[in-house]
Amino acid sequence: MVAYWFSLGVGSLFAAEKPAKTVYDYALVDLNGKEVSLSAYKGKVLVIVNLARQSIFNAQNAMLDEIQKNYKDQGLVVVGVPSNDFGAQEPGTDADVQKVYTKDLQLGFPVFARVSVRGKDQAALYAFLTGDKKASTGGDVHWSYTKFVVDRTGKVVARFEPHILPNAPQVRVTLEDVLAGKFKPPAPKEDDKKDGGGEENMAR
């Protein structure tokens, strides 16, 4: 009888639903080659954005730096993730990338090593960010400077495409609502609403 109840207890443990993954289950490598768990940012609101220094959207680096400064004291952290996936616009060696973001631009937010944000070499973090196809945040990244907003519990709650500037009113309102804990995610998207074009379409 004891063995019976023990087996039931073990079975229930295995049957229990696993906790949903959050951004804290993933890591990036910094520009010095050190792995950094995103759990280091627990309790913060994150804006995760794929950078490319030769993109026509690269003026957004300064805007991202601005929102980092404006909302830092409220708990916001911009996380820059360089990627060479689109138009080979983040070329060169890792040392080249490091020089641009740490010495030339001197950005006030953390910038990590290059990753692939889509395709067969997609980083695990980006598989998580884009994985919920029914959510408004899901679906492949289509170009550089796609911005994901993560709330203080590590959940992806909003996404802005490259043509939406970091200082746009809808971004500002979203960030302030997420920081205040009163943001309500939009209804599930319809597949045909997302613009799937390249850089030319994103610039419209």
**Nearest-CA neighbor of 162 among 29, 64, 23?**
64
- Prediction pTM value: 0.84
| Residue 2 or residue 90, greater confidence | 90
Joined tokens for residue 133: 């196809």
Q: Kindly state the average pLDDT of the residues 181-186.
A: 88
Looking at 13-27, 44-58, 97-111, 124-138, which range is the least confident one?
Answer: 13-27
Q: Which residues of 69-86 are buried (b: 16+ CB within 10 A; e: fewer)?
A: eebeeeebbbbbbbbbbb
What DSSP element (H or E) covers 62?
helix 60-71
Question: What span, in angstroms and rounded, lies between the C-alpha atoms of 103 and 126?
Answer: 27
pLDDT of residue 9: 54
Which domains are present in the chain? 17-202 (3.40.30.10)
Question: What span, in angstroms and rounded, lies between the C-alpha atoms of 128 and 23?
Answer: 8
What DSSP element (H or E) covers 69?
helix 60-71
Looking at 14-18, 36-40, 105-109, which range is the least confident one?
Answer: 14-18
Would the pLDDT of 73 be above 70?
yes
Pairing of strands 35-37, 27-29: antiparallel
Q: Kindly state the average pLDDT of the residues 127-155.
A: 96
Counting Cβ atoms within 10 Å, is residue 33 exposed (0-12), middle (13-18) or buried (19+)? exposed
Per-residue pLDDT tens for 85-115?
999 999 998 889 999 998 999 999 999 999 9
